[in-house]
Structure 1
Amino acid sequence: MVHAYILIQTEVGQAAAVAAEIAKIAGVTTAEDVTGPYDVIVRAEAENVDLLGQLVVARVQGVQGITRTLTCPVVHL
């Protein structure tokens, strides 16, 4: 199982709606609005890196109101 944090910037005033919509996506374990340079932080999981990429590109980035994403895969050192 591969996990990642997805940092999301949204259009002004859209953070809560974006987080609520993303929380419904299969593979997303949490989606929370935050303050700072990003508006929403998501934790997601998938069976492998390819499926994680598909989740981010096909599902998460398709949510209305998102302007930018940054995906940070979790590594175990």
Structure 2
Amino acid sequence: MVEAFMLIQTEVGRAEVVAKQLGGQPGVQSAEYVTGPYDVVARVGAASADELQRDVVSKVQQVPGITRTLTCPIAATAHP
């Protein structure tokens, strides 16, 4: 499983709507609207890096109201 955080900028006033729309998309594990330079942070995942880009990231980028994304692959998950 390949996972990443997507940092998303939206049109003004669209962060909450975009986060809710992303929550129902395949491959999107969570989506929260936040404050700061990005408006929404989503955790996404797929079976491979190719599938992540092709099936998840590209679909997220098509959501109305999104103006820019930055995908940050998770290098390792800390386990206690």
Q: Which residue of 2 aligns with 1:48?
A: 48
The offset of 1:46, in angstroms, is 0.2
Q: Where does the alignment leave 5 or more consecutive residues of structure 1 unmatched?
A: none
* Counterpart residue identity of residue 41, structure 2: I
Counting only pairs closer than 5 Å after superposition, residues 1-77 of structure 1 correspond to structure 2 as 1-54=1-54, 55-57=56-58, 59-76=59-76
Cα distance in 2 for residues equivalent to 1:66 and 1:26: 17
Question: Highest CA radius of gyration, 1 or 2?
Answer: 2
Moved over 3 A (4+): none
Helix, strand or coil at the partner of 2:13: coil
Q: Which runs of 5+ in 2 are unaligned?
A: none
Secondary structure of 1:70 counterpart: strand
Aligned residues: 76
Deviation (angstroms), 1:76: 2.5
Q: What secondary structure is seen at the aligned counterpart in 2 of 1:13? A: coil
Q: Matched residues, percent identical? A: 54
Question: What is the TM-score with the length of structure 1 in the denominator?
Answer: 0.95
TM-score relative to the length of structure 2: 0.92
- Whichever residue aligns with residue 46 of structure 1, its letter is A
